[in-house]
Structure 1
Amino acid sequence: MNDSPPGSAPGAPAQVPLLNVANVLTVLRLVLVPVFIWLMVLPGDPARLAATVVFVVAALTDRLDGQLARSRGLVTDFGKIVDPIADKALTLSAFIMLSADGRLWWWVTVVILVRELGITVMRFFMLRRAVMAASRGGKLKTVLQMTGLIGLLAPWTMLLPRALAGGLTALAYAAVAAALVVTVVTGVDYVRQALSISRTGAGGDEAR
């Protein structure tokens, strides 16, 4: 029995529908960004706790949508474009809101913002030649950023004794410091990789 869509060539792979669970999760993450920002603007620890929960849910969709897209064959051009936009919108909005709230130095946010946006723009330009290879450093950067952001967003003093809350906040700052170092190092590595691709025309998996 031929399962190809009507009018398609026999044996041709079925077209992936635009409306699928992976893309829905990606769009959900993008929609949650303004909700997160709105909650961060509101005063009080309860609003901060709600913002943290929204951030964590959005971050979980980042991991889940990629796994579903690959495991179920739901990769689409829409997902390839919107997924990194949603990722950067979520993380960068968190850095900006923390700096606006006085919980994180602005220079840290600016360095990370320039790196993330610069590498994203460079990756889109490089797609015409090749897809840049992902690195373990890039994945470590994401883990450290998310750990630090969640640690700084959460109103620990509302949930835990002051001493324990202070310890978790200190660990969060340490994670952000480590993320800053890895962010800069991997940014330099991606630039080197882009120059290499420009000379050889070879690439690998998508950079994150």
Structure 2
Amino acid sequence: MNLPNKITLGRIFLVPFIIVFLVVGEKVPNYTAGAIFLAAVLTDWLDGQIARNTRQVTTLGKLLDPIADKLLISTALIALVQVGRAPAWMVVLIVGRELAITGLRTIAASQSVIIHASDFGKYKMLTEVAAVSFLILDWPPEWGFIAIPSLGVLCLWGAIALSIVSGIDYFLKFWKVIDLS
């Protein structure tokens, strides 16, 4: 197993720690969970850079990396629902899309087809990272005299829109390259 794939596995290993520190850790803002989450996000960037720059891109890496991303984002969002910082219906939409795309990826992989993430999917991931980061850190703090949604919830709205657009884009790519017979 090469270094980029080990880094991806490291990202998966960090997920339970984010949940533990978020659910049973200190109250808002939760700097420990935020730091672990951002470290995990940085490993996503790092493993990609190393894989491309050293020509260590593998089929395992192409399949494992998006699973690690989905696991990281989905579990963090579910934990944020548990602590009351994310609306459950928004998280259900995002996680549902992630599961549907994972299913499509599995079908494609069974036919030795890898469908690469589109720019929409990359923007979706960035928006999700921003949403989760702001929600973990509970930033900006609520002001008792102004009822405005948090920046994290606003980013979740963007993530939902990009989830829908990127999901449609992924499905159309899938439909073009898959043999359904």
Which has the larger Rg? 1
Alignment correspondent of 1:75: 57
Alignment correspondent of 2:136: 153
| TM value normalised by structure 1 | 0.76
- Cα separation, 1, equivalents of 2:93 and 2:154: 17
- Cα separation, 2, equivalents of 1:141 and 1:77: 23
Distance 1:133 1:77, change over 3 A: closer
Distance 1:68 1:142, change over 3 A: same
Q: Which of residues 10, 16, 20 is equivalent to 1:34?
A: 16
8 Å Cα contact 2:94/2:163 also seen in 1: yes
**What residue identity is the alignment partner of 1:137?**
F
**What residue identity is the alignment partner of 2:4?**
A
1:40 CA drift (Å): 1.3
1:103 CA drift (Å): 1.2
Q: Which of residues 114, 117, 126 is equivalent to 1:131?
A: 114
Number of positions where the alignment pairs a residue of Structure 1 with one of Structure 2: 176
- Cα separation, 1, equivalents of 2:127 and 2:171: 21
Alignment correspondent of 1:6: none
Alignment correspondent of 1:193: 173
User: Residue by residue, what CA displacement relative to the aligned partner does 1:17-58 show, whole Å, maximum 9, x if unpaired?
Assistant: x1x321221111111011111111214337821011000000
8 Å Cα contact 2:30/2:137 also seen in 1: yes
| TM value normalised by structure 2 | 0.86
Alignment correspondent of 1:24: 6
- Cα separation, 2, equivalents of 1:118 and 1:39: 29
- Cα separation, 2, equivalents of 1:168 and 1:146: 21
Higher relative contact order by CA 8 Å / sep ≥ 6: 1 or 2?
2
Alignment root-mean-square deviation, CA: 2.4
Structure 1 residue ranges (4+ consecutive) displaced by more than 6 angstroms after TM superposition: 166-169
**What residue identity is the alignment partner of 1:152?**
L
Gaps of 5+ in 1: 1-17, 200-208
Gaps of 5+ in 2: none
- Cα separation, 1, equivalents of 2:92 and 2:76: 12
Q: Secondary structure at the match of 2:98?
A: helix
